[in-house]
């Protein structure tokens, strides 16, 4: 069964550094998402991406964040200058066009900012 | 008021028990509803969509009450492997947002 994959599984970085989190969505899916989950808290929406552009973003997704689909398979989340409060699990998700709003999640990247 | 509200639990039940979780949502324009399951430090996994007429998938039954803005999940004959956090998830349609809005989850611990 096709799966969303994410790399790396764990990223440790120093405050102020840039990080890029990578995702490979399921191949025939057209909508892509990033969510985050701070330890002990609920899953929160960051951004959605369709047709090579951002379709929605939350209040969390400020100028420090950007997303890109550099080729036909990868979907990346960049955090320009990490803060301590960016420490969280970051999940990528994708959904097909024809299955309502069901989304399928990758295993996540644990980001630790020190 | 939280957009999606769930009892955090934990619900501690013996194997074989029937357990029910409830969830309320605040936005009456919510149109799609799901239950996801999340194991500790893992990704949310889709358990089932919730349809207006109610739906069943094996031991799992989901129901939706739009008038009360209430969703439920019933698990029959609980297994040890059902131990997880169950996330109630809605999609709002009024703001144009199609992203998933998650509740904080209800933790289930099934005991031998």
**pLDDT for the residue numbered B97:** 60
pLDDT band at B4 (very low <50, low <70, confident <90, very high): very high
Q: With contacts defined as CB-CB under 8 Å, which chain B residues touch A41? A: 104
> Would the CA dihedral through B67, B36, A111, A28 be positive or negative?
negative
By C-alpha distance, the chain B residue nearest A41 is: B104
- Distance separating alpha carbons of residues B74 and B62, to the nearest angstrom: 6
> CB–CB of B60/B74 below 8 Å?
yes
User: How much of chain A, in percent, has pLDDT values that exceed 90?
Assistant: 84
Per-residue pLDDT at B95: 59
Please indicate if any CB of chain A lies within 8 Å of the CB of B23: no
pLDDT given for residue B29 in this prediction: 80
Strand runs labelled E in chain A:
5-7, 10-13, 19-24, 31-37, 44-50, 53-57, 65-68, 75-79, 88-95, 104-105, 109-113
Question: CB contact, 8 Å: A30 with chain B?
Answer: no
Measured distance CA(B53)–CA(B19) in Å, rounded: 20
């Amino acid at each position: 069964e096709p799966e969303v994959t994410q790399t790396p599984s764990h990223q440790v970085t120093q405050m102020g550094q840039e990080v890029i989190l990578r995702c490979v969505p399921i191949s025939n899916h057209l909508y892509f998402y990033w969510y985050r989950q701070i330890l002990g808290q609920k899953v929160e929406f960051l951004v959605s991406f369709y047709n090579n552009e951002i379709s929605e973003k939350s209040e969390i997704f400020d100028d420090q964040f950007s997303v890109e689909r550099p080729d036909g398979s990868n979907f990346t989340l960049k955090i320009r200058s990490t803060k301590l409060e960016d420490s969280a699990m970051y999940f990528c998700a994708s959904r097909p066009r024809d299955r309502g709003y069901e989304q399928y999640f990758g295993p996540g990247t644990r980001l630790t900012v020190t | 008021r939280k957009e999606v509200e769930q009892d955090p639990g934990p619900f501690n039940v013996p194997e074989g028990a029937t357990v029910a979780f409830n969830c309320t949502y605040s936005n009456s324009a919510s149109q799609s509803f799901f239950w996801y399951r999340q194991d500790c430090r893992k990704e949310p996994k889709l358990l089932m969509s919730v349809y207006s007429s109610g739906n069943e998938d094996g031991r799992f039954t989901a129901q939706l009450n739009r008038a009360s803005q209430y969703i439920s999940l019933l698990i029959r004959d609980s297994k040890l492997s059902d131990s997880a956090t169950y996330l109630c998830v809605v999609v709002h349609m009024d703001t144009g947002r199609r992203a998933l809005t998650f509740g904080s989850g209800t933790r289930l611990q099934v005991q031998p």
